[in-house]
Structures are given as C-alpha cells and as structure tokens.
Amino acid sequence: MHMPRITRRQFLKGCSAAAATAAIGPKLLFGPEARAQSAGAFDVVVMLFLRGGMDGLNFVVPIAGDDRTHYETARPSLSVAASGAYGALPLTLSSGAATGFGLHPSATGLRDLWQAGRLAIVHAAGILNSTSRSHFDAQMAIERGLATGTTSGWLARAMERDTGVAGVMPALSAGYNAPTSFAGTSAPIAMDNPVDFTLNHGAWAWQATRADSPAGHVGLNETLNKLWTGDTGLEASGARTDNALRVIARQTYAPVPAGWPTTTIARQLWVIAQSIRFGIGLRYATVDLGGWDTHDGQGTAGSGYHYYQNKIAELSQALAAFQAELEAGGLAGRVTTIVQSEFGRRVKQNSAGGTDHGSANPMLVMGGNVAGRRFYGSWPGLAPATVTAANGDVPVTTDYRRVLSEILVARMGIGDIAGVFPQMPYSPLGLMKGVAASPSAPMAASSSAMSEDELLSMQSAEDIAMEHTLRARGSLREQILRRNL
C-alpha cells in the first residue's frame, strides 16, 4: 500500500495555515493577489443592510391626506406625529411642493441629504409575491438576488461581470463575516477594524520584527510569505491571506476623527470611506446594522421609550457623516450607497407596543450621482382594502432588483445584468443622473415574480448545514487551539 509522505516544509506550511485560520478565523476572507489598478477614477457601491426588518412606516411617515388617517388608526400609540416638536420632518421636492411624507424626527442628517439632492427614496420595495415572514428566508433570497438553482450572491455575480474590478482590494465587508451577497467569490476582505486585522497568534515577541527585537530576529509575519510559493490550494490560500494582511498593513488607516459619531456602524463606514480614499481598487463594500426586530416596546418619538428613535438616529448620523467625508474628499460623485432591509413591518401595531413582520419597505439610495430629492416607485396607500388584500402589510409594488440593477448598469458599467439577476427584465426607475442606464446585453423577458415555493426552495439542506457550520466555527477554532497547546 502506498503511504503518502510529507516533508518538513509541507508540515510547516500546514501548521502556519492552521495557525492563521485559528488566529483570524471568520474575520478574514481571502482577497485575490495584487493586480494593477486600472487607470482613471472608478465607482463604488456600498450596500448597507438593516437586519431585523426595519419599520418603514415609522421611518418614512405619511403626514397628510387619507393615508395619515389610516396610519393613526392602525397605530394609536406608535404613530409619529405629523408636526410639532416631535413631529416628522417634512420631505419636499426641489420645487418646494409637498410630498405627503416626512422622515422620523431623529433622521435630521438624512433630511439634510434629501434637501441637498443627495438622497432618493424608493416606495414599497421588496420581494414581489412573497408571503414568507422569516428573516433567514428573506435575507437569503434578497442576497442571492432571487436566483434559483445557485448558491452565489448577487454581488459575487456582479463582480464576475464587472470589467472594472482590479486593484488589490476590490471588495470589502466592514464586519467579521462577508454576507451571502458575496457568496461565490473569494475577493472580499472581511475587516471590522484595521487595528485588529493582523496575525497575532503565539507569543508577542515572535509575531513580527519590531524596534526592540533582538538583532537578526525575523518574526512569524515576515516568515510566512516565504512559504507560499507553490501552486496547491493550501499555498494559494496562504498567499492570498498574507497578501490581504500586507495590503491592510500598508494603508494609513486613522482613528475616527473628532466629531464623528461613536457608534459601531459609523466606525465601519469610516473604514469604508478611508478604503475608498486610498485608491486600492475598492468597488463593492458591505456593512450591516442590526437591531430592527421590534415586536414589543418599539417606542416612537419624544417622550416614553426611545429605542426606535435611537436606532434611526444611529443610522442617520452615520450616513450623514459618511456622505460628508466623501464630499470633502471629492469622492461623492463616485460612490452610491444603498440602504435596504429584508422586509418591513405590519401596518397595525400589536398588543405589545411593537410591530410584527411585514412586507414592503422603503429603500434609500444616496450619492452624488443620484437624482435625489424625489420618491420613486409606486406608493400603494394604506386604505383598509389595500392592506387587507396584502395580509395586513404594505404591499410590494417595486421589485428591489430594479434598484440594484440600475445602479450596476449606470454606475458600474455592467452590461450582462441578466447574468446578475436571472429572470429579471431590466426596467430602470431613473434613479441615476448623467449616465445612460441602458445595458449592452439583452435582458431576459420572463416575469420577475417569485412564488412562495420557489423562495423557500432556495434554502437547501446544504445551505442549512453551511449556516450551522459558520455558527460553530468559533467554538471549533477554540477546541483546535486547546488541543494544540
């Protein structure tokens, strides 16, 4: 019987790879090897996902007409006032005409961006014809782009078709893990904080060569890159890991400046803003903000429990600071930020002072090339007959993929949009200005509607197993380390 042999060099490589994985774990996804940055300016898409199902009706509030009456009736203790000290912030068009809607009073930063023409809102967006109220199902479906028969994410498919993807860091997830939208590509670097983005396994004195190191000392981090010279999968992954560590280490990431919001989401957006400014090829970035699943004690505005108004303030302040940084650096025209949640909340408040899982929600699109200070899509209204027909929800009237596909075509130059969103006819809303929003490849002509069975079928046994694997990775890593001590 043939017995495989392993050399000392191969053994050391395996130990080093295991150490790197154990030390960094899910914080690092392997970016590609460095490639030359394409000449000229490049656009960036930032995807901010509000996980938990944001209550869109208390975020973009009806403040006039019959819908205001229906809103107050459905939410006697949760409705945001139409005016006054804690009233909604009215949203007007560039002409000064009223829209009948206002933002939650805590969203002053977003209101200012609307007034400046940097923000657009898409009414009643979401997954068409879906009755699922599962966070997992809805998030998985959205991040895969409703593409059945594949486990890849829409951002991964966009990157495959994006001829502008180059540079040493084309994709960044500002957190500990990359989202499902990046599934199918090894390009993203998942980084919550550049300061912690390092291989710090083993004794401190051994990790790197420092000013106080003994003469001739070569640290672990300096040694590792010399090991990844072969063409096996292990060596290729090790080389990409080492490359990602070195790329981040070479950048002059600075702490958040004075006056910047101190929340986690704001710090993560600061990391994204700096990564764009460094010019290392960033094209796609993602960031999450959770905490929106408010089944009880949601709160409204003003007196009483303030949970929801604090969440909206956190979001608004972070986005306003991020956009201000882009404007100051002359980058605003190159960056488009999308804000989305997996679904909205029911129209009627529940008996626990909260709201339950619903359907449609507003989507926000922010940036210098956004045709802002306008609503897009079709507002279905809150008439009882409309809400009852939608099982108590605001019904979806705009497929969320219309928003994403227009941005990919108009700003990222992707022609094969049908390859990103299969079975989705291309139908731009006119969100982008100054760029022709016409794909260069023919679009599929089939219906974009997805049945409930199709939506649920996306969560295969393999997907469920992978989810459990990811959740268990942290504890498994600790077990491996304990066994090796």
pLDDT digits (tens, 9 = 90+) for 155-208: 999 999 999 898 788 999 999 899 999 999 988 888 887 765 555 555 666 567
* Ranges of residues in the chain whose predicted pLDDT is under 50: 1-40, 441-485
Q: Rounded to whole angstroms, what are the CA distances from 353 to 71, 74, 133, 392?
A: 15, 12, 19, 17
- The DSSP output letter for 87 is B
Which stretch of DSSP H or E encloses residue 89?
A: strand 89-92
CATH class of the domain at 26-484:
alpha beta
Distance CA 27, CA 33 (A): 18
Distance CA 305, CA 324 (A): 30
Pull the structure tokens for residue 401: 């993929």
pLDDT at 221: 66
- The DSSP output letter for 444 is P
Q: In the chain, where are the structural domains located?
A: 26-484
Contact 345, 357 (CB under 8 A): yes
The amino acid that residue 323 corresponds to is: Q
Distance CA 422, CA 418 (A): 5
State phi, psi for 99 to the nearest 5 degrees: -105, -15
pTM beyond cutoff 0.75:
yes
pLDDT at 269: 98
Tens digits of residue pLDDT in 193-250: 776 555 555 566 656 777 777 887 776 666 666 666 767 766 666 666 666 666 777 7
Distance CA 70, CA 372 (A): 28
pLDDT at 20: 43
- The DSSP output letter for 127 is -
State phi, psi for 399 to the nearest 5 degrees: -65, 125
Distance CA 263, CA 100 (A): 32
pLDDT at 400: 98
Pull the structure tokens for residue 402: 């219309």
Spatial strand order in the sheet of 60-62: 60-62, 98-103, 89-92
Q: Rounded to whole angstroms, what are the CA distances from 292 to 35, 54, 299?
A: 39, 5, 12
Pull the structure tokens for residue 115: 């007034």
Number of other CB atoms surrounding residue 278 within 10 Å: 17
Contact 277, 198 (CB under 8 A): no
Contact 52, 68 (CB under 8 A): no
pLDDT at 22: 38
> 361-367 and 171-173: which strand pairing?
unpaired
Q: How many residues does the chain have?
A: 485
Distance CA 461, CA 445 (A): 31
**R_g over Cα of the chain:** 24
Distance CA 338, CA 141 (A): 17
pLDDT at 290: 96
The amino acid that residue 456 corresponds to is: L
Pull the structure tokens for residue 229: 């010279």
- Largest separation between any pair of C-alpha atoms in the chain: 84
